[in-house]
């Protein structure tokens, strides 16, 4: 009985960490996909040569991979974890025109995250 309870507690703790890790990964993916979508749409509107598009598209397509690699190292129990998730989710909800407006890109959630990050850095 005790082993079953212990195993259940360990599984519960691991599941919580996996769900939290997925929350950041999902938020980052959503934000990255939005940025990709907007970049590609902007490229379609811009007066670009086909060669320039060919050069830029692989960079745009690989930026999400680079972001995912960095996220794997973020500890889920860090005090900035949830604010980072909230910031990325808020940015994923922006429209493409919002991304071109410097005032709108700075969401309330990202401003709160920046302030908390500044405070954490000041305390270190």
DSSP letters along 50-75, please?
HHHHHHHHHHHHHHHHHHHHHHTTS-
Supply the range of the domain harboring residue 9: 2-123
Query: Number of structural domains, the chain?
Result: 1
What is the pLDDT averaged over residues 30-38?
A: 88
Does 31 or 6 have the greater pLDDT score? 31
69: pLDDT strictly greater than 50? yes
Q: What is the pLDDT of residues 71-124, one digit of tens each?
A: 766 788 889 999 999 999 999 999 999 988 888 888 999 999 999 999 988 987
Cα–Cα distance measured from residue 90 to residue 110, given in angstroms and rounded to the nearest whole number: 8
């Amino acid at each position: 009985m005790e082993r079953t309870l212990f195993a259940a507690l360990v599984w519960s703790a691991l599941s919580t960490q996996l769900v939290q890790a997925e929350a950041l990964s999902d938020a980052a993916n959503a934000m990255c996909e939005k940025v990709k979508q907007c970049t590609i749409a902007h490229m379609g509107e811009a007066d670009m040569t086909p060669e320039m598009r060919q050069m830029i598209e692989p960079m745009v397509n690989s930026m999400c991979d680079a972001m995912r690699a960095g996220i794997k190292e973020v500890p889920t129990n860090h005090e900035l974890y949830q604010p980072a998730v909230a910031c990325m989710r808020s940015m994923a909800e922006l429209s493409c025109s919002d991304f071109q407006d410097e005032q709108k890109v700075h969401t309330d959630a990202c401003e709160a995250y920046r302030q908390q990050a500044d405070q954490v850095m000041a305390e270190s």
